[in-house]
Amino acid sequence: MGLDAYHEQEAVRDIFNRANDVLGYHLTEIMFDGSEDDLRATENAQPALFLHAYALYQTIENPRPAMAAGHSLGEYTALAVAKALRFDDALELVRLRAEAMAAAGAAEPGTMGAIIGLDDDVVREICQTISQNDHLVVPANFNSDGQVVVSGTPWGVASAIEAAKEAGARMATELNVSGAFHSPLMRPAEEKLAQALSEAPIEEAEFPVYMNVSASSVTDAGTLREGLLKQLTAPVLWAETIRKMIADGATEFIEVGPGNVLQKLAKRISREVPASGLGKIEQIQTFNNSEGAEKNE
């Protein structure tokens, strides 16, 4: 993970090595040579994803974003590139967040499930009905129209999956996760993160960041701080976020970091606005060259 960029870009090497110093251990060893299980562990995956996306962004020449958003953990990357959080502080917060979420998942076992093909309100109603019977399940991610992830106790999520199938869902399945993220079961993690966030030096963002918990455009430091804390137990309003960004003038989405999940979601939410990704160093080099060519025309 990130090895190609590390070898080819001095800026990436500097950032990766800085991350090792900040964390006090060699995260890069896990990223480059660790097992898939090691890398997928919450306490490693979150810092690695943040680091990879942030470092790749630094190799883009004159990115000039008008606005930014990040899905769950990605919100920290968005705030770091918007200069609301310094790199060291963001990485420390991500590490603490990951450890707190892993601990909460171990103390109160939970899981998540993906439901595709039902209206959001139907999924909300299913969750409300099941939760009334003391088996918690709540909507956690509104990813696109007809795609909702639910989160809660194992019994609650299993019941929601069965109810979704009975209601005509095209797909309903449990996800391979280590906890009930974005649900009240993450309250202990929220409590652990609260003090660190209250003390973290957060500045006004240089450009608007659309927050997970409200789908609203934010630059104010206090509101950014509040949103980061609330997102641990609140749903990610991703579909609404993308629609709001389009309404506010977004004409193109570029996902920076590994994978292509967010660009696929953006295309499902709106066919009118193009979405692409920069996940490997060769893609960024091509992008930089094309941007330079446009300037010289």
269 burial (CB, 10 Å; 0-12 / 13-18 / 19+) is buried
Q: What is the mean pLDDT of residues 36-58?
A: 94
Residue 76 has, within 13 A of its CA and on its CB side, a CA count of 29
Q: What is the mean pLDDT of residues 246-267?
A: 96
Q: What is the mean pLDDT of residues 46-67?
A: 95
Which residues of the chain form CATH 3.30.70.250?
A: 110-174
Q: At what angle do helices 261-269 and 238-247 cross, to 10 degrees?
A: 60
Which residues of the chain form CATH 3.40.366.10?
A: 3-106+184-228+275-296
Instruction: Return the biggest CA–CA distance within the chain.
Output: 65
- pLDDT score at 134: 76
Q: Which of 166, 20, 142, 43 is nearest to 95 (CA)?
A: 43
d(CA 85, CA 27): 20
Q: How confident is the model at residue 133 (pLDDT cuts 50, 70, 90)?
A: confident
Helices (H), the chain: 3-8, 10-23, 27-33, 36-40, 42-58, 74-81, 87-107, 120-131, 154-166, 187-199, 221-230, 238-247, 261-269, 281-296
H-helix or E-strand spanning residue 276: strand 275-278
Secondary structure (DSSP) of 142-171: EEETTEEEEEE-HHHHHHHHHHHHHTT-SE
pLDDT in tens, 177-217: 989 999 999 999 999 999 999 999 999 999 999 999 999 99
Name the CATH superfamily, with its identifier, for domain 110-174: Malonyl-CoA ACP transacylase, ACP-binding (3.30.70.250)
- pLDDT score at 296: 46
Strands 137-144, 275-278: pairing is unpaired
Inform me whether the pLDDT recorded for 293 exceeds 60: no
Active-site annotation, residues? 72, 182
pLDDT in tens, 61-92: 988 899 999 999 999 999 999 999 999 999 99
Q: How is domain 3-106+184-228+275-296 classified at the CATH fold level?
A: Malonyl-Coenzyme A Acyl Carrier Protein; domain 2 (3.40.366)
pLDDT in tens, 149-172: 999 999 999 999 999 999 999 999
